[in-house]
């Protein structure tokens, strides 16, 4: 490999959300990778830091072209630069969009289980969460189309927040799936907000389809970012893409109202480097993550756990039926696991899947091996205690 994915970086003492844990603990929870950042990004940030004035910044045409070119070249989406608006992050964008594009006490549709901040972005904006739950067949998930259409037909549902690819299951929705969602949304006058932050972290050989490509006639706002792919969430850089001109004006006004549409001194430099030079690093990262997922899947299968098959993300969604029963809740097991072994994973209840846990394998292989050893130790202790 050309790039280094094996070095374990010491992140202690840096006030990182992921690694602010007790000594000896192994955090494999939040969606934050532990790889050395792509050299092109490090170089760009260091070059910007060498110019010692860090004042207010405006969005540049260079940044817009970098975003547009990346999605055109890698994903076949020919967005125009006029459609692209800077935002400090995808979650702030979703919160702003919910406030801008719906009224208080109206309903916002999601598909449970799903990223936990979807719930908070909706509830904190005084809207009502409505879910068309993904159907689980004991192996994987699929969309319950009858239920989705029924929920979209509710006149109080004005927005649908889609996760493409899906977090936490790692599902890559097909072009046909997305087109069908788009037709339903257009038929029922529902605006789609598509969170596509994990779109570049697909397994080698697997392509993702942007919602705007699959459903071009559906009013939609697409949220994209280099932060997950390149592990730079601390640099606060993302983009909101709005093909529809009328909708774009509303979205831009909302981002400005919420004061989240201006970049810091390093956000654009990092994103431009990522999108113009980061392709080879991304492809090697995808192969490394897939190998990590294969390693962890085999280890967990040997422990009697079922990993939901995925095609994207470095996050794994793990069914704990063998530990807690078909109607059980894995929250207690996750707490037990951390107390007994120091392994810190995310309990599935916060995503709407209480029988599951989510584990992050976007890290050097030695940490994956350590995590699987701790998981085995924890499961052995759990079974003895229960």
pLDDT one-digit tens code per residue, 150-204? 999 999 999 999 999 999 999 999 999 999 999 999 999 999 999 999 999 999 9
- Distances in whole angstroms, Cα of residue 96 to Cα of each of 101, 186, 260, 337: 9, 22, 9, 37
53/77 same-domain check = yes
262/345 same-domain check = no
Query: Considering 242, 277, 312, which residue would you say is the last residue of a domain?
Result: 277
Residue 228, H or E segment: helix 227-230
**What local confidence, expressed as pLDDT, does residue 1 receive?**
83
What residues contact 32, with CB distance under 8 A and at least 6 apart?
16, 17, 18, 231, 233, 360, 362
**What local confidence, expressed as pLDDT, does residue 70 receive?**
98
CA distance 121 to 96: 8
92/227 same-domain check = yes
Whether 370 maps to a domain, the answer reads: yes
For the segment 22-47, the average pLDDT, to the nearest whole number, is 97
**What local confidence, expressed as pLDDT, does residue 313 receive?**
98
List the CATH number of the domain containing 325: 3.90.1150.10
Of the chain, the percentage scoring pLDDT greater than 90 comes to 99
Listing from the earlier edge strand, what are the strands of the sheet with 220-224? 84-87, 238-241, 220-224, 191-195, 157-163, 107-110, 128-131
Whether 330 maps to a domain, the answer reads: yes
Burial 112-135 (b: 16+ CB within 10 A, else e): ebbbbbbbebbeebebebbbbbbe
80/210 same-domain check = yes
293/250 same-domain check = no
162/289 same-domain check = no
List the CATH number of the domain containing 132: 3.40.640.10
pLDDT one-digit tens code per residue, 130-142? 999 999 999 999 9
pTM for this predicted structure = 0.97
pLDDT one-digit tens code per residue, 71-97? 999 999 999 999 999 999 999 999 999
pLDDT one-digit tens code per residue, 197-253? 999 999 999 999 999 999 999 999 999 999 999 999 999 999 999 999 999 999 999
**What local confidence, expressed as pLDDT, does residue 99 receive?**
98
141/199 same-domain check = yes
CA distance 313 to 167: 8
φ, ψ of residue 43 to 5 degrees: the values are: -60, -45
303/217 same-domain check = no
349: domain range?
26-37+279-385
Tokens linked to 114: 């799903």
**What local confidence, expressed as pLDDT, does residue 238 receive?**
98
265/303 same-domain check = no
Q: What is the dihedral of CA 68, 69, 73, 78, to 10 degrees?
A: 40
251/162 same-domain check = yes
314/189 same-domain check = no
339/199 same-domain check = no
Whether 67 maps to a domain, the answer reads: yes
Tokens linked to 62: 């260079």
Nearest Cα residue to 42 out of 270, 199, 213 = 270
């Amino acid at each position: 490999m050309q790039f280094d994915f094996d070095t374990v970086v010491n992140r202690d003492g840096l006030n990182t959300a992921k690694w602010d844990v007790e000594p000896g603990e192994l955090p494999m929870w939040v969606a934050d990778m532990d790889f050395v950042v792509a050299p092109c990004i490090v170089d760009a940030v260091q070059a910007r830091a060498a110019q010692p004035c860090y004042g207010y910044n405006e969005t540049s045409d260079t940044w817009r072209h970098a975003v547009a070119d990346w999605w055109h070249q890698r994903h076949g989406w020919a967005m125009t630069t006029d459609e692209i608006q800077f935002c400090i992050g995808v979650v702030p964008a979703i919160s702003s969009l919910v406030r801008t594009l719906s009224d208080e006490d109206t309903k916002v549709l999601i598909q449970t289980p799903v990223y936990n901040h979807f719930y908070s972005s909706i509830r904190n904006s005084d809207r009502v969460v409505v879910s068309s739950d993904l159907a689980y067949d004991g192996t994987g998930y699929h969309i319950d189309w009858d239920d989705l259409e029924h929920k979209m037909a509710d006149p109080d549902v004005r927005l649908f927040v889609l996760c493409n690819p899906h977090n936490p299951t790692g599902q890559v929705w097909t072009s046909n799936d997305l087109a069908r969602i788009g037709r339903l949304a257009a038929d029922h006058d529902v605006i789609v907000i598509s969170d596509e932050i994990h779109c570049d972290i697909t397994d080698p050989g697997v392509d993702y389809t942007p919602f705007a490509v699959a459903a071009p006639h559906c009013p939609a706002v697409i949220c994209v970012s280099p932060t997950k792919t390149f592990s730079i969430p601390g640099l606060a850089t993302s983009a909101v893409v709005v093909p529809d001109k009328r909708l774009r004006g509303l979205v831009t006004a909302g981002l400005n109202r919420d004061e989240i549409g201006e970049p810091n001194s390093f956000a654009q430099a990092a994103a431009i480097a990522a999108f113009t030079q980061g392709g080879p690093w991304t492809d090697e990262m995808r192969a490394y993550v897939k190998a990590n997922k294969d390693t962890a899947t085999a280890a967990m299968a040997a422990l009697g756990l079922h990993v939901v098959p995925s095609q994207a993300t470095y996050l794994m969604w793990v069914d704990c039926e063998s530990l807690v029963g078909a109607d059980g809740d894995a929250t207690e097991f996750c707490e037990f696991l951390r107390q007994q072994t120091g392994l810190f994973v995310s309990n599935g209840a916060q995503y709407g899947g209480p029988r599951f846990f989510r584990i992050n394998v976007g890290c050097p292989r030695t940490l994956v091996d350590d995590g699987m050893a701790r998981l085995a130790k924890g499961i052995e202790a759990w079974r003895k205690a229960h």
